């Protein structure tokens, strides 16, 4: 989980460094092409790939791929227009959203204490988003929408059969983003990409592959309540990289909101483990 968070945050950094100089869909297409090349170049080294899977798993992979495509669009739209730490802080509500979705969709029992924690966590998100006349902008909503699709993606991943290789899911995800971005890029003018930006895109492709692989492994083989606290290490990475690379440091309200979200998330996970015992 810590490796996944580190990879995703470094990937976000490389993508943000190209913001404005390369259209988003062209950027996603080029990154997707590089990710696919990396997967084929490392064929068999990160895990086997085959498509001898059931129709149920094929449908789940297709749904997961759609969720990943939508996540990429909404998240990058927010990332290019918000500080890295702010976007990442909003995504820290994920353990709470997964718990809530499990109750609403999977009909899992969620007690009043955990529901209270989810409500308090939502207050923390409001402090980060700042829905007032001065602090509010549409990109905060984009980040929240991305969080919803990440929640859907993770819930779908947990429904996959054990015999589906993780690298098959990784490849399907990369191809889905590649195809969707390629089609969408036909609606915008492509630009000449500089050598520096190609370097950023290559670095992004390398780390997004690691993020895909580690996150799929985690969601399939590990207990959510045991690994979710380590998801918060992504916020530490985002704060440090945002400060050193972009010179951004979130205000006190964003910091307070992040602390509330993390605290309520940890409490929710504590309650889950206690009930499991």
Q: Angle formed by the axes of helices 84-91 and 55-79, to 10°?
A: 140
pTM: 0.79
Q: For residue 113, what are the CA distances in angstroms to 96, 117, 225?
A: 12, 6, 16
Could you read off the pLDDT of 35-45 as tens digits, one per residue?
Answer: 999 988 877 67
In tens, the pLDDT along 117-159 reads 667 766 776 676 565 544 457 888 898 899 889 888 888 888 8
Alpha-carbon distance of 63 to 46, in angstroms, equals: 23
Contact of 262 with 92, CB cutoff 8 Å? yes
Residue with structure tokens 């992040």?
Answer: 258
CA-to-CA dists, residue 202 to 125, 127, 141, 176, 214, angstroms: 33, 35, 29, 18, 19
Q: Are 238 and 41 in contact (CB under 8 A)?
A: no
The more confident residue out of 122 and 193 is 193
Where residue 114 falls among pLDDT bands split at 50, 70, 90? low
* Poorest-pLDDT segment among 25-39, 93-107, 164-178: 93-107
Q: Which residue has the tokens 């980060």?
A: 128
Task: Give the domain range for residue 41.
Answer: 2-276
| Domains: count for the chain | 1
């Amino acid at each position: 989980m810590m490796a996944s968070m580190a990879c995703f945050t470094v990937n976000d950094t490389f993508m943000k460094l190209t913001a404005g100089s390369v259209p988003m869909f062209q950027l996603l297409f080029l990154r997707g092409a590089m990710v696919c090349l990396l997967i084929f170049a490392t064929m068999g080294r990160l895990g086997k790939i085959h498509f001898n899977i059931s129709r149920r798993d094929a449908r789940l992979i297709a749904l997961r791929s759609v969720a990943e495509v939508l996540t990429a669009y909404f998240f990058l739209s927010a990332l290019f227009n918000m500080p890295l730490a702010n976007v990442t802080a909003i995504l820290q509500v994920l353990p709470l959203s997964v718990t809530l979705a499990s109750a609403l969709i999977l009909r899992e029992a969620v007690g009043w204490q955990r529901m209270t924690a989810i409500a308090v966590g939502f207050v923390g998100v409001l402090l980060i988003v700042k829905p007032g006349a001065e602090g509010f902008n549409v990109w905060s909503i984009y980040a929240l929408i991305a969080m919803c699709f990440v929640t859907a993606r993770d819930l779908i991943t947990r429904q996959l059969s054990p015999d589906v290789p993780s690298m098959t899911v990784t490849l399907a995800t990369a191809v889905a983003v590649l195809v969707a971005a390629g089609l969408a890029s036909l609606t915008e003018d492509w630009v000449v990409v500089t050598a520096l930006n190609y370097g950023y895109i290559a670095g992004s492709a390398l780390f997004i592959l690691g993020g895909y692989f580690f996150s799929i492994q985690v969601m399939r083989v590990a207990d959510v309540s045991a690994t979710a606290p380590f998801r918060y290490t992504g916020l530490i990475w985002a704060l440090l990289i945002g400060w050193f690379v972009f010179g951004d440091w979130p205000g006190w309200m964003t910091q307070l909101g992040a602390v509330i979200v993390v605290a309520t998330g940890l409490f929710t996970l504590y309650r889950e483990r206690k009930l499991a015992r």
